[in-house]
Amino acid sequence: MTKSINAFRRNPGHGNSGLRILLILVMMTSALTLFSQNITVRGTVTDAETGEAMIGLNVVVKGTTRGVATDLNGNYTVTDCPPDATLVFSFVGYEEVEEPVRGRTVIDVAMSPSSELVEDVVVIGYGTVSKRDVTGSVASVQGEDLARVPVSTAAEALTGKLAGVHIVTTEGSPDAEINIRVRGGGSITQSNSPLFIVDGFPVDNITDIPPSTIQSIDVLKDASSTAIYGARGANGVIIITTKGGEEGKPRVNYNAYYGMKKVASHLNLVTVEDYMKWQYEYALLADNLENYERYFGNYQDIDLYAGQPTTNWFDQVFGHIGKVFNHDLNVTGGSDKFRYSATYAGIRSDEIMLSSEYKRDNLSLKLDHKAGERVELSFSVRYSDLKIFGAGATDQGGATPNDARVKQTMLFVPIPFNSVGDFDDTDLAASMTNPLDNVRDNDRQQLRKRFNLGGSFAWEIFDGLLFRSEAGLDNYVNNDERFYGLTTYYVRNTPTADYQNMPALEAYERKGNGIRSTNTLNYDFANLLGDTGHSLTLLAGQEVLVTKTNTMFNQIWGFPDFFTGEDAYKLVSQGYSNSYTNTYNPDDKLLSFFGRVMYDYRGRYLFSATYRADGSSKFSAVNRWGYFPSAAIAWRISEEEFMKGISNTLNNLKIRFSYGTAGNNNIPANQIAQIFTARSTSWINGFSSFWAPSTTMANPDLKWETTFTRNLGLDFGFFRNRINGSVELYRNNTKDLLIEFPVSGTGYNTQYRNMGETENKGLEFELNLVALNAKKYGLNFGFNIGFNKNKILSLGVMNDFGQNTSWASTEIGNDYWIALGGSVGEMYGYINDGRYEVSDFSGYDAEADEWILNEGVVDNSNVIGTVRPGSLKLRDLTGDGLVTVADGSVIGNANPVHTGGFTVEGYFYGFDLSALFNWSYGNDIYNANKIEYTTSRYAFRNLIDVMAEGNRWTNLDAATGTLVNDPATLASMNANTTMWSPFMSRHVFSDWAVEDGSFLRLNTLTLGYSLPELVTSRLNIQRLRLYVSGYNVFVLTNYSGFDPEVSSRRNTVLTPGLDYSAYPKSRQLLFGVNLTF
């Protein structure tokens, strides 16, 4: 063989060419066979720094979706792998590795931590700290998380994202009040809203901050975090940091969405024929048949109404398809010396309610300049302009139900009334108003302008010592103009006789200026301590806050009858100015001194302490100063040597405890001295005086309301934080409550006093899971839940007191009860005991026209009026045989057992999907609508289908059109009905109207697609994402009303969970774009 090969080499051209070709073909075939057979690749993946096995790491065959995850020993096995493939190794927090197989069957990989991984930083008040070094209770949401949710306000974007932060959008109007409670809140009669800080400046709300401009939101929940804000931190602190400039070439971001909205739910009414039958029965029971026949004709003609279509007034007022357009433009850039960020954001929304509109424009500019090696300057300006047009659903903050727009649409006559009567008939007008006229005649314009200016000077005096001085101005003007037309309750009752039944106008203007000056000195001992493992920083500061406000009110009556709202706003001189007041409120001044120390030893043992002294002009010299200390310790167990062996599995385990105090001075200014108003008033023995005293009695002994908090927390992270979360236990006690105390009989209405104590204790849990984290695809889950229990421990000299929501004027009385051992939000009323049956009576007295109750049957007439078969029956709790106000009891609680939310976020080769759910469990709702819509307190009012024929008790013999008083016949007629008769002389609150308000809502669902880089580069843009999003997608609940997330009474914490004529919420479908170039 050797000889033959040698011969071939010596004589390639002599007969050996065939052998040469044969050898080449054999070699090629062998190679093809080798590379056409897939192989199995095994290996072990370790941490390049620690050498420990990497668990749960993704190993994927590049260009495919086939892959595996490493086991508990870091081993992996990829079967059926092409020998020329490339394996991609990826894990959160590590650099991605690509390994060509090249026919190898064993490939071991060492993963290096990502050099691009930026440690999370949270804002803690006058400074920042690494999230892993936080010793108190702080929850954070980053701007990129907010940007995924196309909503119009920052509060909406926070919904369901943070444990212990309960957010309730009280109704669906464009100016809906959004209640934010951090761990329940400790006050009883005063606001429980947290302190809002935007770029260092305190503001009263965050509804005018566009989510697209936010860099981060940090929520401080315990006193070790909030005590640095002293007097204002008792209810938690929400710190918003807006986006600033970035070093680099100019970058432009444009975001926009357009969408449609419609009302999310409806209530069903009875049919037209059923309505006519009930109105006839009502007329017989009320002995006023003349009114019925005047409007609707004779009963013999009632069949004419059978099958007639219902005029759906609700749809005519709230059934519009609203349209919304929201967009913002941001330009950012700069150098190492100068950075800038300029933003415009605007929203235009036509609402679901007739003639309603919402507009908002925002402008902001942030500049940062490195003026020298150790000097930095910054400047920021924000401007917002908000306009809301339309009647709204109820009077903002008001208690009168007479002009409630939702109520009018539900109860008005369900037929085209012009065909059978006169809209302006006084009998009808006294009961109800045409809903379209009601909207037209309740015109409203709300204008909100805000201007915020801030600047800072930072000087590093020497290494480690930083002096920072900040100053800011906050100016706002709020205008609220309200027109009352001819059909409103206001013009029929409020003006003097000469101007009643004539259009009127009320105009409010509230102006405010806030001035802030803050100076801090921060020293970092890093240079002195060197590499000893010790870290120590000290902060000392001083702050001055001054707030000036004044309010103007103008009441104008007697406009010509033909005037509309637009006419009245333009031609104010055509009316009579009944009163004009311009009130300058006392300045609210706060002088503060504060300090903080933070210590860390090798990342294991952490300690922080704060102290703040606040002097407030709201208190007298004796009680002016409040002192608020706090301290917190933490032990990061995962940094101990004995934990190093499992550090790749359990990379973070930290236990922390904090204790501290925070204050609250959230009462009107100058309650320590008697205030007099310059206006004419009647005085002793009828003598007039130009000076009128305030209705609130002064109290020079007022002092700070103080909250004491204890917090125990556990933070954990597994597999390089692929699974991470926290558990928190807390207990907050608020003492010396600032309560508005009734002082009747003194010539004053109320007096602010320090009295009482409340307690909030609870549990919070957060869990985040990175299930998949590859470059092209990933899947994340987030879950949070918060339990809170509120309890009233003391009310000072009182044991309890009641609160009236006034939705039914004075008919119901106190329908909320605040008592020792209870909680704020307990509903007070009667216990429903069904209805009176015929068997409850001994018979009917025709001469006296009354039914005689059997002996031993409870008499409800003191509460519901005349008792007859079919009347509502209430339970006698005192056992005296009578139902009176003494038989009221706590029948519901608006406080949820727990609230929370969970998120699902994923991305896959350009596509992204996110879903946000939020829920509330265990809270009750006071459904006042259900009472009103099932009670015929007056004639002509419609009923919801709960009271449909066949359900409600009836006294009417439909065949003859007469009332039935024969006991046997009446019992037989109602054998299959379940409800009582709607005929009642007053509204009654019983536990029948208290419903379970638990719900699970899919708040947002968004599907997006980002164009690949290959396409965007050709278009000379950095990013282009298109998406479609649904808002308020669905709600799972047993609540029978419009929406279970509701609280109709504004500006009070005493009556949560009331649902009365609330503006219905909408469901939205949005189409949007995110563009960067």
Min mean pLDDT across 196-200, 364-368, 425-429, 647-651 is at 425-429
In sequence order, the 6+-apart residues with CB closer than 8 A to the CB of 668 are 585, 696
- Over residues 808-815, the mean pLDDT reads 89
Give which of 513, 511, 508 is closest to 550, Cα–Cα.
Answer: 511
Which H/E stretch holds residue 469?
A: strand 465-484
Beta bridge partners of 1074: 255, 1025
Residue 19 in this model has a pLDDT that exceeds 80: no
What is the pLDDT, as a whole number, of residue 686? 52
HSE-up of residue 664 (Cα within 13 Å, Cβ side)? 30
In terms of DSSP bridges, do strands 800-803 and 816-819 run parallel, antiparallel, or are they unpaired? antiparallel
What is the pLDDT, as a whole number, of residue 37? 82
Residue 536 in this model has a pLDDT that exceeds 50: yes
Give which of 488, 501, 480 is closest to 569, Cα–Cα.
Answer: 480
Q: Would the CA dihedral through 941, 943, 944, 945 be positive or negative?
A: negative
Q: Tell me the C-alpha distance between 431 and 936, whole Å.
A: 11
What is the pLDDT, as a whole number, of residue 762? 97
CB 1021 within 8 A of CB 1076: yes
Give which of 94, 97, 95, 99 is closest to 81, Cα–Cα.
Answer: 99
3-state class (DSSP) for residue 266: coil
Q: Backbone phi, then psi, for 257, in 5-degree steps?
A: -145, 150
Q: Which CATH number does the domain housing residue 61 bear?
A: 2.60.40.1120
Would you place residue 116 in the very low, low, confident or very high pLDDT band (cuts 50, 70, 90)?
Answer: very low
Q: Backbone phi, then psi, for 1075, in 5-degree steps?
A: -130, 130
CB 403 within 8 A of CB 913: no
What is the pLDDT, as a whole number, of residue 676? 66
Q: Backbone phi, then psi, for 76, in 5-degree steps?
A: -140, 160
Residue type present at position 128: T
Give which of 73, 69, 76 is closest to 52, Cα–Cα.
Answer: 73
Q: Tell me the C-alpha distance between 1006 and 151, whole Å.
A: 12
Residue 13 in this model has a pLDDT that exceeds 60: no
* Cα distances (angstroms) measured from residue 695 to each of 526, 692, 700, 866: 58, 9, 16, 40
Residue 385 in this model has a pLDDT that exceeds 50: yes
Residue 1014 in this model has a pLDDT that exceeds 70: yes
CB 1043 within 8 A of CB 264: yes
Q: Calculate ∠ Cα 220-221-226, nearest 5°.
A: 60
Number of domains making up the chain: 2
**Exposed, middle or buried: residue 195 (CB in 10 Å: 0-12, 13-18, 19+)?**
buried
What is the pLDDT, as a whole number, of residue 5? 38
Question: Hunting for tokens 């638990």 — which residue is that?
Answer: 998
Asked if residue 278 belongs to a domain, the reply is: yes
CB 477 within 8 A of CB 531: no
Tell which phi-psi region holds residue 225, choosing left (phi > 0), alpha (psi between -120 and 50) or beta: alpha
Q: Tell me the C-alpha distance between 145 and 1006, whole Å.
A: 13
What is the pLDDT, as a whole number, of residue 1067? 97
Which H/E stretch holds residue 1001?
A: strand 999-1010
71, 86, 111 — which closes off a domain?
A: 111
Would you place residue 677 in the very low, low, confident or very high pLDDT band (cuts 50, 70, 90)?
Answer: low
Mean of pLDDT over the chain: 88
Give which of 870, 857, 831 is closest to 989, Cα–Cα.
Answer: 831
- Over residues 700-712, the mean pLDDT reads 94
3-state class (DSSP) for residue 1017: helix
In sequence order, the 6+-apart residues with CB closer than 8 A to the CB of 933 are 267, 410, 411, 942, 943, 944, 946
CB 224 within 8 A of CB 466: no
Burial 676-697, CB ≥16 within 10 A → b, else e: eeeeeeeeeeeeeeeeebbebb
In sequence order, the 6+-apart residues with CB closer than 8 A to the CB of 684 are none
| Domain that residue 299 falls in | 270-309
What is the pLDDT, as a whole number, of residue 185? 83
- Over residues 713-719, the mean pLDDT reads 95
* Cα distances (angstroms) measured from residue 497 to each of 367, 493, 501, 502: 60, 9, 9, 10
What are the pLDDT digits (tens) for 283-328? 999 999 998 998 888 998 898 888 888 889 999 999 999 999 999 9
Asked if residue 274 belongs to a domain, the reply is: yes
End-to-end CA distance of the chain: 71
Residue 7 in this model has a pLDDT that exceeds 70: no
SS (H, E, C) 131-160: HHHCCCCEEEEEHHHHHCCCCCCHHHHHCC
CB 260 within 8 A of CB 323: yes
CB 133 within 8 A of CB 535: no
What is the pLDDT, as a whole number, of residue 146? 81
In sequence order, the 6+-apart residues with CB closer than 8 A to the CB of 426 are none
What are the pLDDT digits (tens) for 1044-1060? 999 988 778 899 999 99
What is the pLDDT, as a whole number, of residue 329? 97
CB 1009 within 8 A of CB 1025: yes
Rounded to 10°, the helix 289-296/272-285 angle is: 150
Instruction: Kindly write down the DSSP assignment for every residue of 755-819, as one continuous string.
Output: --EEEEEEEEEEEEEEEEE-SSEEEEEEEEEEEEEEEEEEBTTBSEEEE---TTTTSS---EEEE
What is the pLDDT, as a whole number, of residue 118? 46
Q: Tell me the C-alpha distance between 451 and 384, whole Å.
A: 7
- Over residues 213-227, the mean pLDDT reads 89
What are the pLDDT digits (tens) for 921-980? 999 999 999 999 999 988 889 999 999 999 999 999 999 999 999 999 999 999 999 999
Higher pLDDT, 763 or 846: 763
Burial 399-430, CB ≥16 within 10 A → b, else e: eebebbbbbbbbbbbbbebeeebeeeeebbbe
In sequence order, the 6+-apart residues with CB closer than 8 A to the CB of 977 are 950, 951, 952, 953, 954
Asked if residue 956 belongs to a domain, the reply is: no
Higher pLDDT, 33 or 536: 536
Would you place residue 20 in the very low, low, confident or very high pLDDT band (cuts 50, 70, 90)?
Answer: low
Q: Backbone phi, then psi, for 830, in 5-degree steps?
A: -100, 160
In sequence order, the 6+-apart residues with CB closer than 8 A to the CB of 708 are 223, 659, 660, 661, 732, 733, 734, 735
Asked if residue 175 belongs to a domain, the reply is: no
Structure tokens at 841: 């009576």
Structure tokens at 170: 């009280």
Helices (H), 180-286: 223-226, 272-285
What is the pLDDT, as a whole number, of residue 997? 98
Min mean pLDDT across 7-16, 719-728, 1043-1052 is at 7-16
57, 88, 111 — which closes off a domain?
A: 111
What is the pLDDT, as a whole number, of residue 740? 86
Give which of 629, 639, 622 is closest to 663, Cα–Cα.
Answer: 629
Q: Tell me the C-alpha distance between 340 and 368, whole Å.
A: 6
Asked if residue 99 belongs to a domain, the reply is: yes
- Over residues 901-916, the mean pLDDT reads 95
Higher pLDDT, 552 or 397: 552
What is the pLDDT, as a whole number, of residue 650? 93
Residue 730 in this model has a pLDDT that exceeds 80: yes
73, 92, 111 — which closes off a domain?
A: 111
What is the pLDDT, as a whole number, of residue 679? 54
Asked if residue 485 belongs to a domain, the reply is: no
Would you place residue 400 in the very low, low, confident or very high pLDDT band (cuts 50, 70, 90)?
Answer: very low
Q: Tell me the C-alpha distance between 1031 and 669, whole Å.
A: 41
Asked if residue 995 belongs to a domain, the reply is: no
What is the pLDDT, as a whole number, of residue 690? 54
3-state class (DSSP) for residue 635: strand
What is the pLDDT, as a whole number, of residue 110? 94
**Exposed, middle or buried: residue 937 (CB in 10 Å: 0-12, 13-18, 19+)?**
middle
Within 10 A of 561 (CB to CB), how many other CB atoms are there? 9
Question: Hunting for tokens 């305030």 — which residue is that?
Answer: 694
Residue 173 in this model has a pLDDT that exceeds 80: yes
**Exposed, middle or buried: residue 222 (CB in 10 Å: 0-12, 13-18, 19+)?**
buried
Would you place residue 205 in the very low, low, confident or very high pLDDT band (cuts 50, 70, 90)?
Answer: confident
Q: Tell me the C-alpha distance between 863 and 452, whole Å.
A: 55
Structure tokens at 1013: 């880089």
HSE-up of residue 638 (Cα within 13 Å, Cβ side)? 20
- Over residues 648-656, the mean pLDDT reads 92
Asked if residue 590 belongs to a domain, the reply is: no
Residue 83 in this model has a pLDDT that exceeds 50: yes
What is the pLDDT, as a whole number, of residue 12? 42
